[in-house]
Amino acid sequence: MICSLGIAAMKTIVEAEDFIDARVTPQGILENLSNEEVAKLLDRGQGGLYPLFRQCALAVLNSGSNSDDPRALFDKYREFDIRIVQQPWGINLELTHAPGQAFVDGKMIRGVREHLFAVLRDIVYTANEIVESGRFDLKQPKDITNSLFRILRNARVLDFKGRPELIVCWGGHSISREEYDYTKSVGYELGLRGLDVCTGCGPGAMKGPMKGATIGHAKQRIYNGRYIGLTEPSIVAAEPPNPIVNHLVIVPDIEKRLEAFVRLGHGIIVFPGGVGTAEEILHLLGILLLPENAKQPMPVVLTGPRAAAPYFERLDEFIGLTLGHEAQARYRIIIDDATEVARAMMTGLDAVRHHRKSIDDAYNFNWTLDIPPAFQLPFDVTHDSVAALDLYLDRPVHVRAANLRRMFSALVAGNIKEPGIRQIEAKGPFVIKGDRRLMQALDSLLTQFVAQKRMKISGDYKPVYKIAS
């Protein structure tokens, strides 16, 4: 968590109450930036950091929005600007035409400003210490993992030295009220047992468990609960950090985000979701099915309210067809029983602790988990790369899982990531082709996602995919 921050907000000088101009002054870890760092952050040209910094900053200032359309956000705040002012005693951030919802009585909300400076911290560190340092070959598995470790360490996420107690919660940002309330119930049961929560930091099933956990922690007089949010630049505008997140980390891409989840987490709970949730499940199961990871304990529970039972039945069938019974054996499905979910996590955490202790692995970062390059290297989503995916059932299980994960990642891009949305508008839906039985199962699963409105929050959903006959 970044150090406490001070703020001096200027008076609003625009007529619309939705917009505010302000000056923000950090204290502590980001009091100073070098002239070179400031120049990079203000560089608006190709290769400069300003477009990335502005995009992520606007996203966190928009926390609480009910839209998952990044272009609508960028269009509404097209005049938004952020400048770094270098002064003898440190830096200021000057915001122009910023979202008014980030302020109360002219002062920026404390949680929002912490998220704002987390963005600045991670963008500067990743650019300087990871990408441009020359110390990492980001095509090599060990270097990818080491670079991720350093990003998380710099964000102070690894400071915790206690027993395994971090539960990763996955699920959709577009879920029903009943499903959202159930995620809060599960989070509450986790909080009562002293467990912390890590999610993708956005709304829906990413917010609910954190909200429930805060109540459980409060009842147990736990004042240092951790609510870790992991995101990446291409998705943060569609899923801005929810206000409960107290440790926000921006990693460079979706593959590093997924690796961070499985290396940080001690147990994983999956709530109902859409293509992003399917991507996460396939990433996890593909890794756990590797022979090198056969002895890795990782409690995994798929859960939702009674109404979500058909969703999990269909998902379980899809996993059984594509990855086999061995994959199904790596998780439990628990319907409408938040207490049992939390108890299952507690039992599983005992196995994690004993295993890590027996092999002298760290509690706060799973170094011994083997993650092959197919799950680490970024997938460049294009119409050609999606059409070229090897989606056949006679391939090795980890190849099936890796390519299915990439396919679902492309659908996420087409749904809510600005570059993917532009590609769909220019060239039409992605064309998916492969094994006939697999395509039939995929079509059935995606049809369910669309019918249950799990693809998007904003507007009428238009499919971004077409399954070739």
CATH number of the domain that residue 275 is part of: 3.40.50.450
Whether residue 262 sits in one domain with residue 362: yes
Q: Which among 99, 453, 124, 136 has a CA at the least distance from the CA of 273?
A: 453
Q: How many domains does the chain have?
A: 2
- Domain end point (choices 83, 106, 134): 134
Whether residue 24 sits in one domain with residue 104: yes
Whether residue 303 sits in one domain with residue 161: yes
Whether residue 343 sits in one domain with residue 403: yes
Q: How far is CA 90 from CA 116, 155, 376, in A?
A: 17, 20, 37
Would residue 142 count as lying in a domain?
Answer: yes
| pLDDT score at 240 | 87
| pLDDT score at 31 | 56
Cα–Cα distance, 333 to 178 (Å, whole number) = 18
| pLDDT score at 286 | 96
Give residue 68's domain range.
Answer: 6-134
Cα–Cα distance, 209 to 184 (Å, whole number) = 5
Would residue 11 count as lying in a domain?
Answer: yes
Would residue 332 count as lying in a domain?
Answer: yes
Whether residue 236 sits in one domain with residue 146: yes
Whether residue 203 sits in one domain with residue 124: no
Q: Which residues of the chain have pLDDT under 50?
A: 1-16
Cα–Cα distance, 302 to 440 (Å, whole number) = 23
| pLDDT score at 10 | 38
Would residue 96 count as lying in a domain?
Answer: yes
Whether residue 141 sits in one domain with residue 67: no
**Three-state DSSP class for 370?**
coil
Whether residue 90 sits in one domain with residue 170: no
Would residue 1 count as lying in a domain?
Answer: no
Residues 217, 230: contact at Cβ < 8 Å?
no
Query: Strands (DSSP E) along 317-358, which ranges?
Result: 332-335
| pLDDT score at 9 | 39
Would you tell me the crossing angle of helices 275-288 and 254-264 to the nearest 10 degrees?
A: 60
Whether residue 143 sits in one domain with residue 124: no
| pLDDT score at 369 | 96
Whether residue 140 sits in one domain with residue 130: no
Would residue 182 count as lying in a domain?
Answer: yes
Whether residue 149 sits in one domain with residue 275: yes
